[in-house]
Amino acid sequence: MVAAWSVDRLGRSLTDLLGILQGLHDKGVDLFLHQQGLDTSTTAGKAMFQCWGYLPEFERGIIQERVNAGLARARAKGTRLGRRPVVSTVEVQIRELRANGDGILKIGKKLGVGTSVVQRVVRGMPKSLTA
């Protein structure tokens, strides 16, 4: 028997969950779900597993709807989404230091910015200057 905490820890859709359960049963292994108290070695346990199986997919759909609604609300208010642009003077310094052969970590430490900022600027540079 395999024990898991909850049905939503196993898969994100009913199809995934049924595939996992079938794979286990093909190997002669049953499943116990602690949070729901389900034991698939019984007929009732198998039926309840299938009833509970739609929940992870449903929950994921609700989360997606909430996130999209929040983004739409922010856009409607005029909130600018995404990362802040790099200050132009810092961007110029990053390009100069990279063209001189400095590494990304060294540039970030020298200018007091994160390596992700340096990488974003370097990614936008022509290939001839980044090598």
More confident residue, 128 or 105: 105
Q: Evaluate if residue 52 carries a pLDDT over 90.
A: no
Determine the residue type at 110: K
Residue 108: which residues within 8 A CB-CB, separation 6 or more? 114, 115, 117, 118
Q: Evaluate if residue 10 carries a pLDDT over 90.
A: no
CA atoms of 65 and 126, how far apart (whole Å) = 39
Cβ count within 10 A of residue 17: 23
Identify the DSSP state of 8.
G
Q: Provide the percentage of residues in the chain whose pLDDT is more than 70.
A: 95
Res 70: pLDDT: 96
Model pLDDT for residues 65-119, shown as the tens digit of each residue = 999 999 999 999 999 888 888 888 999 999 999 999 999 999 999 999 999 999 9
